[in-house]
Structure 1
Amino acid sequence: MFVVAAAAALITWGLGLVVGALMAREVAARGRGRGVQLHFPMLGASGFAGFVVWHMGYSASGPLTAATEGSFLTESLGGQTVPITETVFSTWNMLAAAATVLVVGLTLYLIAPRGETRIIELPAQKAEKQEVEAAPLETPADRLDASRVPTLLVGLALTVYLVRHFVLGGTLTLDIVNWSFLALILLLTRSAHELIALTAKAASNVGEILLQFPLYAGILGMMTATGLITVLSDALVSVSNPVTFGLFAFLAAGLVNFFVPSGGGQFAVQGPIMLSAGAELGVDPAVTIMAVSYGDQWTNMIQPFWAIPLLAIAGLKMRDILGYTTIVLIASGLVFAATLLLVSL
């Protein structure tokens, strides 16, 4: 299950969280129905653990920002961009992602509870599926909303635009990623009515995240205005050299992410500082970008902010999965640290 959640997270972080949560519930429900005892908190932790590789994949906000002309990282990159082929799609990053999935997957298998007395199953009431009745189509407007034609046409139009963009030599940027996911959503939904219903349902699961964004934005503002992020970053970087810089940038990013759990927001503040420091030491900017990316995804394993959607869907509490995700933090951290040291040699 972890492998599927990780694969989904590599496509986009939101898909990884939702797939992990839904799979945890479904696997637990089917196990209960067949009389197979499965430890539900472990399933939930495995679903969330897939999130530990999201910044190494297609929706990685830091690398995509660095590949976008005119972004806030352009000045720190000397007016240049860093192609996505040198960061997310580099050979060393893809090997690191595969190694992380392998090591974390093996770790989860080894720490899984065994023995009937230690297993906590999915409660019976949560295993029951709720049937949803379709609304009647009484007017032409209702029938149009329920038709596949409008979403299909718009989805196909966006697909044509994306194909044309790449045929003409366009590069992968954050905007293109967003457009590609919108096109995919429109092509996969059966009607505008279904799209609205799915959006409303999804919003109910992320409401707590939306409420916390102003709080974390305030923390980010305080850390930026007081220069605390600069102090933390400079303190770790000051003791590094061209070989160890990536490792210390990774640790600094992991520390900052615990207080500011936002990949884009963190890159806006910490990215330019790290890129400038790395340039002074002659470090490849691609290594610096991925070091900050690794740090951002790493400490999410003990940061409850991004676990909220999964916990809401699965019906778990953070304390139910924290022990397992802490071990995932340690295992994945070893892979990230080793990768950054090896690629800097």
Structure 2
Amino acid sequence: MTRPLPQGKTSETIADASAANWIERYAPPSWLPYLRLARVDRPIGFWLLALPCFWSIALATRGMGVAYPDLWTLFLFAVGAVVMRGAGCTYNDILDRDIDKGVARTRSRPLPSGQVTTGAAVIFMVALCLIGFVVLLNFNAVTVWLGIAVLPVVALYPLVKRFSHWPQAVLGLAFSWGTLMGYAAVQGRLDWTAFMLFAGAVCWTIGYDTIYAHQDREDDGILGLKSTALKFGPATKPALGLLYGVAWLAIAAAGLAAGGGTAFLLGMAVALIQLTWQVVTLDIDDGANCLKRFRSNRDFGLIVLAAILVDMFLAAVL
């Protein structure tokens, strides 16, 4: 059961978050609106942001003869993913607070529902950014500059849907940037392996966020907003097939370039089956179907990570 919020606040949970999530059950009531603002109640976003970072850290370490990547580096990237995802979501909600009132899935968010004021949201966002910056300073100069360079992309993303059908592409750039940062954190430089992995992650992100955007297709059309869901329309399945196909090929090519072997390829074969399942079973007119397939991309990301790690371990011990 959802715990009550402080007096004067709504107890309504977010539309696409489970009422049984641990945030709703255990967090202090005064924290709830801010945890919701940072999407802590919906951890799928953390996985989708962090997993490409983990891929790149592991691939960058692949040729060093060790059995697994540096755990401290993985931890720092995990913390960075949590706080910067929260900051990005808060920034997005600040800009979209009036639009979100007109969309069924988002009108219960903390800002449009009045659970959090705009001023408080700005302070919260700045605090998260400062934590992220402290984390970033633990890495080499190339990684720090890459972390700073992505900020204009993040700032642009919430605005794109107002004038272009391709906000998912900008999200792809922002969410996949961690592949470049993770590789640079280990190697101190970038090479074609990092760029191939980045390209694959971008295509993957466009694909899964197109599925997510189909939940809001009707409301977006009424409000004059744009998305790849509206652009692709009935042709979404073939478009997804193309995007996911390019994503899989690019990720597989990056793994092979980093020295991946048979175990990696077997894992990638399983990952391809997962992507194929998404496309074949997708029903763009069923919101619950879209949400389930969107969330299943965590499984794809974990399969890819497992393929890299198992192959890395076997290469080190055999």
- TM beyond 0.5: no
- Identify the structure with bigger relative contact order (alpha carbons < 8 Å, sequence gap 6+): 1
TM-score, L = length of structure 1: 0.29
TM-score by length of 2: 0.30
**Which structure has the bigger radius of gyration?**
1
